[in-house]
Structure 1
C-alpha cells in the first residue's frame, strides 16, 4: 500500500531513510547517461534535495496520479541533472586550496606588503560580512582541513559550501574594486568568474582577451586576498581543462 503524503510529512527522517536507496539508484542511472556523480557527493545531493525541494513536492503531489515514491524520484532526477551540470561549472572555478598551494607559493611574488596597501586590504576585508570573512579565512588558512570537514563544521553540504565560497569571492572583488585595490580590468575578470559563473575560457571570449591575460588577472586578485589574510599564498585556484598550467 502506498504511503500517504501526510505520513511522509510527519516523519521526515524516516522518509529520508526509505527514499534514499531509490534516489541513489536515480543517480546511478544518470551516471550511466554521462551525468557522473562521485559516490561521496551522492548523499550530499540527496540531502540537498530534501532540504530545498521536499516541501514543494508534498504541496504538489497528487496521489491520484501515482505513488509519492515515483513522484519524488522523477523530481529528484530533474533536480540532479541541473545540480550536476552546475557542479561541473563550479569545479572549473573552485578547487581545493591544498592541492594547489605549492604552485601558488612558487609563483607568487615574495616580499613584504607595503604598510599602506596592507591597511587598505584589511579595511576592505573588514567591510565584508562577518560570515564571509570567517569562511574565507577558514578555507584559505586552516591547515589540513578538508572541504568536507569545513562543510561539516558549518552544518552544510559541500555543494552549499562551494556556493557560499564563490559568493564570498565575488564580494571580495567588489570590495577591492571599490577601494581601488585592483584595476578595472581585474575587477571585470573577477566579476565574470565568481559573480557571473563563467570559466576563464568563456571570460576571455566575452572580454576579447587571451586566456592567459584572464588567468593572470584572476591570480592577481587571489594573491591580493592572500596578502590581506596573511596566509602566505594558501590560495584557492581554478583550472580550466589545463589552461592554467
Structure 2
C-alpha cells in the first residue's frame, strides 16, 4: 500500500487510540471485543478499522480527542499505591495521586503496591508498549533490602538465569552492598521484568524482601525525585532514547 493510500484510509483505530493515550493497543483490541468503542456512532467490531481526521471516536460513551504530542514523565511511586486506573478493592492508585492538571496518562510497566521508585508515565499508549518490550535490552535497576543470610555465590549464579516454580527467569545481576545483622542491601539489575520477579527470585534464595526501590529504567533515572514527585522528560531526551518500532516509525514526534 502506498503512503497516499494509507493517508486516504487513515490509521488503524487501535493505534490511533493508543497514540491518544487511551490504553495500549492490546487493551484497546480487548475493548473493541467488549463493544466499548464507537466510530461515527457505530460500534466498532474489528481492530482493522481505520480512523481519519474527520471521524468521531468514542470510548465508553465519551469522545476521544486526537493524539497530542508525545509526553513522558518520571514519577517516584511511593509505597502503598497500586499501578492501575481503577482498583476493585478500592485501594489508592498512582493515578489518583497525580496533579489535577495532568493529562490522562498510562504507566510504562508496573510496580506492585509494596514497591517504590521510578515509574515512567506517558500520554502515548504506543510509546508505553514499545518501552516495555524486552527486546529494548534496557536494564531495570533496583535497591533491595532483604532479611536473611545472603549467599554471595548464589547471588552471582543468578547471572546464568534460573527456573523457579516452572518459570524461567533470564540473567539477573545481583550484588551485596551492605549487611547489618540479618538485614542486607542489594543492587539488583534485570532486563525482563516479569511479574514480581525480584521478590520471587529472592524468596528462592531464602531471602525476604522488606523494601524494593527501582532506581532506573533503561536510560531514565530516579535521581533526586522524592516520593510522590514527578518531572516531565524533555522532548529532546525522548527523541534520543525512544526505540523505533518494527516499521521504523517513531509514532508522534515530541515537540
TM-score bin, normalised by smaller chain = under 0.3
Give the structure, 1 or 2, with the largest relative contact order (CA under 8 Å, sep 6 or more): 1
Length-normalised TM-score, structure 1: 0.27
Q: Greater strand share, 1 or 2?
A: 2
- Structure having the higher helix fraction is 1
